[in-house]
Structure 1
Amino acid sequence: MKKLLVGLTLLHAALATPALAKDYQIGAAFPLSGANAEYGQVFSSGVDLAIEHINADKKLSGKLSAIYEDSQALPAQGVIAANKLINVSKVPYILSAFTGVSKAMAPIGAKTKTVMVNGGGVGPDLAMLGEYFWNTIPLANFEVTAMVPYLVKEKGYKRIALIYVDDPLGQAVLKDLTKEVKAAGGDVVGSFSIPTTAQQFSGVAARVRDTKPDAVYIATYGNQQVQLVKQLRDNGVSQPLASYSAMSLPSILKLPEAKGLVYTSQQVTLNKDDPLTKRVEEDYKKKYGKEPNMYVLNYYNAVLTFAELAAALEKAGKPVTGENLLAQRKATKNFQFVGATVSFADDGTVKSPIQINEIVGDGTSKLIAAGK
């Protein structure tokens, strides 16, 4: 009888004890080395700040952390990183970046029912990678569509030359820019592809000069874009330069040759009077000494999305798996991002107004056309 009473007491104590807090890990396949490592630093700063805030607010029952793997911005390395994060680290949610890398990783996510979220690549075909692949950044077709009327109609630059990297991003921009410039009444007078590893551009500059363009649109990224802008100017290409959101990196903003370059980005309203935006802006400035750019915000929002979905699953008593995260996202009408309330389209994209910025030359840029 005594043993029975002791057993019942222990059972009662076990039932009365709350479930142990569960810690969570998400993955990130970012370039941590190589020519595009600067992007990885920027992306991870947004991830790390979001995790700090989520843990401080106790949004989840346990602690959230991130496991980083080096994609080197290369598709093959991205596949290795994704397989390691899924098969070894067992994460249900992976952050990706770069169009070619994301396209290589996406089939793995679809096969294993692992959510993958891109906040940096902008190739339009990233909207067609299946229901387990999401984007927190507007894709390049929206950026090109916003830039072309500004160049052709507002500024009167009818003759546009294009320099594009020979990968899925560059090929998508070639297609969209050619179509949009023609529709606006202009002409793409020359389109010049460059290999992803190229660093010498004097020959390209000479060919661009021969087309006598009114403006030059650049579609590349990382250290390559730094060298390209510098060498275009050094080799006598004096026409206005235009590009997309990749030009917001610190290395470009502080480059003297980039002064006056205009680029598109999603609209960022950091002065919006809401607690989330204010907190992110103030804490990022305190930690890094500068304002967060849209890449920082994209990955902050991607991590915040995981936390909101995981918290809802915890509340419902469901495990945080890729399959359940997808179902919960579909069941959630709106998400509070930094500076905006958004919803995901069926193809996993979020749409945002696009603004046009001009590089000032002192490490910053200024808004010259508000988003629509």
Structure 2
Amino acid sequence: PTTATTLYSQLISVNHVNVLVADFGSVLTSVAVPIAEENKMLLFDQTGTGASFFTPSNPYIVLTSLPTSGLWPDSLAQYLIKKGYSRIAIVYATNDFDQSQDQTLVSKLKAANITPVYNNGVPTSTSSYSVLLNNMANTHPQAVIELGYPNNDIAFLQALKASGDHFKMVFTIFPGQLPQLFLTSSGPSSINNVYTYPAPPLLSFSHVNYGLNTTQFESAYKQQTGQSANFLSIAGYNTGLIIQKTLETANSLNQLSLRHAVSHFSGSLTTLDGTFKINSEGAQVGETLPVGKITTTSQGQVSVKFVTSPNS
């Protein structure tokens, strides 16, 4: 974040860019938001979904490629309630991204008269979950939810495998975005039968009205790079599409004109990442994430079974 702060400022004051794009994730985006607002520069926020980034007083942010994190747990809460799980244990990292998810999830569960038997926030730097898992297991949960970044998820799933504990449902966020990372770091068994939010390309969109659909992009990306597309490459491509559409339709490079252009086509654009729609604060509300259960083979093949409706 310290390096990002310097570079965002340099892009604006030294390079005098017309278009400013944030790096991946809420941690690196968090330092860009106040800089962009102070300099009256529109920030194209790729995947920084922290709910605190979006306020009525700041028109200088647009979230392009993920829904604001406060919306993510809608499908998860829906599934837990439908399954009748009353004993739910949650551990979450205390950053904007994960904490806002915990707040939404707990709120929706309590509205259904379900109070988590365990709900504990830990530093994002947490790398050992053995004691935490033991504390969660002592509450005899039916469902165990871990909300973190990829390193948190990996450490949690490794600790779960080592513990020998078994629960009816285990949920973590990033296997649905970066399955190959988990296969490489922990092996196929680490995410087998784990629930997650499947993101593109596990969540595939065939009917689009702007840019390539999921299958076309995967083919083109493989041909260009020799690598398989993952969510990060799709998020980057989708951000490019949104910027391209903005420049096609804006009257000028004035930053509020760019923002007005985005608002104008919001809700009418369907890409390989779903429906692009922002609210008045610039938060993405059109792209929804279902809940799915991952299955892996010993050869590392990954498939997903959707347990809530994929909006595709």
2:262 match: 329
Distance 2:241 2:193 in 1: 34
The alignment's C-alpha RMSD in Å is: 2.6
Contact 1:122–1:140, Cα closer than 8 Å, also in 2: yes
Question: CA 1:165 to 1:311, structure 2 compared with 1: closer, same or farther past 3 Å?
Answer: same
Distance 2:220 2:122 in 1: 39
1:90 match: 16
Amino acid at match of 1:101: L
1:101 match: 28
2:193 match: 260
Is 2:106 the counterpart of 1:167?
no
Is 2:242 the counterpart of 1:300?
no
Q: 107, 114, 125: which is aligned to 2:41? A: 114
The Cα offsets for residues 230-250 of structure 1, whole Å up to 9 and x where unpaired, read as 112212332121133564212
Amino acid at match of 2:87: R
Unaligned runs of 5+ in 2: none
Amino acid at match of 2:272: V
Percent same amino acid at aligned positions?
18
Give the C-alpha shift of residue 306 in structure 1.
1.3
Q: 122, 145, 157: which is aligned to 1:217? A: 145
1:283 match: 220
Give the C-alpha shift of residue 290 in structure 1.
6.3
Question: CA 1:121 to 1:216, structure 2 compared with 1: closer, same or farther past 3 Å?
Answer: farther
**TM-score of the two chains, using structure 1 as the length reference:** 0.70
Q: 167, 177, 183: which is aligned to 1:248? A: 177
Question: Equivalences for 1:1-372 in 2 at 5 Å?
Answer: 74=1, 76-96=2-22, 97-128=24-55, 130-136=58-64, 137-154=66-83, 156-239=84-167, 240-244=169-173, 247-249=176-178, 250-252=180-182, 255=187, 256-265=189-198, 268-272=203-207, 276-277=212-213, 278-288=215-225, 292-313=229-250, 318=252, 320-332=253-265, 334-338=268-272, 340-350=274-284, 351-361=286-296, 362-368=300-306, 369-371=308-310
The Cα offsets for residues 90-114 of structure 1, whole Å up to 9 and x where unpaired, read as 2232222322432322111112122
The Cα offsets for residues 327-354 of structure 1, whole Å up to 9 and x where unpaired, read as 3223445334226453332221232233
Contact 1:260–1:360, Cα closer than 8 Å, also in 2: yes
Q: Tell me the number of residue pairs that the alignment of Structure 1 and Structure 2 aligns.
A: 293
Distance 1:204 1:346 in 2: 39
Query: Secondary structure of the residue that 1:355 maps to in structure 2?
Result: coil
Distance 1:77 1:364 in 2: 36
Contact 1:266–1:352, Cα closer than 8 Å, also in 2: no
The Cα offsets for residues 74-133 of structure 1, whole Å up to 9 and x where unpaired, read as 3x3332231122223322322223224323221111121222122323323333272111
Moved over 4 A (4+): 288-291
Contact 2:145–2:172, Cα closer than 8 Å, also in 1: yes
Distance 1:329 1:153 in 2: 37
Contact 2:196–2:291, Cα closer than 8 Å, also in 1: yes
Considering fraction of residues, name the structure with more strand.
Answer: 1
Contact 1:208–1:237, Cα closer than 8 Å, also in 2: no
Distance 1:257 1:291 in 2: 21
Distance 1:309 1:157 in 2: 44
Give the C-alpha shift of residue 186 in structure 1.
2.6
Give the C-alpha shift of residue 321 in structure 1.
4.2
Question: CA 1:344 to 1:177, structure 2 compared with 1: closer, same or farther past 3 Å?
Answer: closer
Q: Larger C-alpha radius of gyration, 1 or 2?
A: 1
Unaligned runs of 5+ in 1: 1-73
Moved more, 283-292 or 135-144: 283-292
Distance 1:327 1:132 in 2: 10
Considering fraction of residues, name the structure with more helix.
Answer: 1
Contact 2:91–2:122, Cα closer than 8 Å, also in 1: yes
Query: Secondary structure of the residue that 1:106 maps to in structure 2?
Result: helix
Distance 2:19 2:71 in 1: 26
